[in-house]
Amino acid sequence: MNKQLNETAKKVVAKTILAADESTKTITKRLATIGVVSNPEVNRQYRQILFTANEIEKYVSGVILYDETIRQKTDDGIPFTKLLSQEGVIPGIKVDMGTVKFSDDKPDTYTEGLEGLEKRLLEYKNLGAKFAKWRSVFTIAGGSPTDEAVEKNAQDLALYAKICQDAEIVPIVEPEVLMDGNHSIEKDKEVTERVLASVFNKLKAHNVDLSGVILKPNMVTSGKDNPQQADTETVAQTTLEVMKETVPPEVPGIAFLSGGQSPELATRHLNAINKIRNTDQNKYPWRITASFGRALQGEALEAWGGKNENVTVAQKVFIERAEKVFLASLGQL
């Protein structure tokens, strides 16, 4: 066991992880929802609102940054990574380069970014990053995800994780089974279990130290277009069943993504998961928290609306949600 990687991983999942790593394309879409045109300066101002919010360190222990953001500074000239570190919040970095389709006739994708990753990680480490994130995406539709898609993405996640650990950076491994579709929670369970089993097989095959890895999976839910949505308790119970079946006990933390759930629903599901976990922590030995993007930021983004006079209100809204998510990560909401 690499003690340093394990200690860093535990610190990152100690509270919650803010995913502020939207790509240029994604943040352009997000800002467009409030009628604001994205550019590096506007993006910087928006991220600054979140990172300088009073008492962020009480509820957030890690922040995932994007290539643009990790190079940016506050109005006072303090690098974002330094600002966060001074508050006791650990900076991380998204290192994947997005997804590409295997073929035009199926939704299966693989993720790019392994080429030159060692060099990029060294630069990010010098800029202050202590952990990284790589996302693979799986779509439930017809015969998808195919065995080829599961195998290729699991393999690449393992290679990425090994490269990170060799650079003394904690890898967040993010295999996301999308909510898109009208599938049942049973189908989601089956696919999520298959994906996670493959990921951990590959991590072990590549001698990745599991005590220095953070898992960022989807919760197991009904497809968002399914008129019969599984209730909160069923989502919590089913999700934990899959985790128990697939996630080795030495993994220090599971940080669930919100995956398009509303802030309220994602928080409620996280709380229900941890209420069950609290009844038998030997059965569920990992720290279970959240790494939310939209579900942590969405309400604050709307409150800001791109106007300077709304900054204080937006920060208040952000901290209120961050507190709720943190309490949910303890099962205390």
Say which residues have a Cβ less than 8 Å from residue 139's Cβ, sequence separation at least 6: 107, 108, 109, 145, 178, 180, 181
Residue 310 lies in a domain: no
Q: What percent of the chain has pLDDT over 70?
A: 100
Residue 32 lies in a domain: no
Residue 306 lies in a domain: no
Domain with 172 in it = 3-24+59-294
216 catalytic? Reply is yes
Residue 66 lies in a domain: yes
Q: What is the dihedral of CA 222, 286, 110, 205, to 10 degrees?
A: -130
**Could you count the other beta carbons within 10 Å of the beta carbon of residue 150?**
21
Please pick, among 174, 189, 202, 299, the residue that the annotation labels catalytic.
174
CATH number at residue 66: 3.20.20.70
Residue 200 lies in a domain: yes
Q: Residue 50: pLDDT band by 50, 70, 90 thresholds? A: very high
- For the record, the structure tokens of 48 come out as 């600054």
Per-residue pLDDT at 178:
98
pLDDT in tens, 275-314: 999 999 999 999 999 999 999 999 999 999 999 999 999 9
* Averaged pLDDT for residues 17-40: 96
Residue 104 pLDDT > 90:
no
Residue 17 lies in a domain: yes
**Could you count the other beta carbons within 10 Å of the beta carbon of residue 37?**
9
Please state, in angstroms and rounded to a whole number, the distance separating the CA atoms of residues 48 and 27.
Answer: 14
Residue 179 lies in a domain: yes
130 catalytic? Reply is no
Please pick, among 15, 133, 189, 216, the residue that the annotation labels catalytic.
216
pLDDT in tens, 211-257: 999 999 999 999 999 999 999 999 999 999 999 999 999 999 999 99
- For the record, the structure tokens of 187 come out as 């189908």
Residue 245 lies in a domain: yes
Please state whether beta strands 90-94 and 60-65 pair in parallel, antiparallel, or not at all (unpaired). Answer: parallel
Per-residue pLDDT at 1:
83
Number of independent structural domains in the chain: 1
Per-residue pLDDT at 110:
95
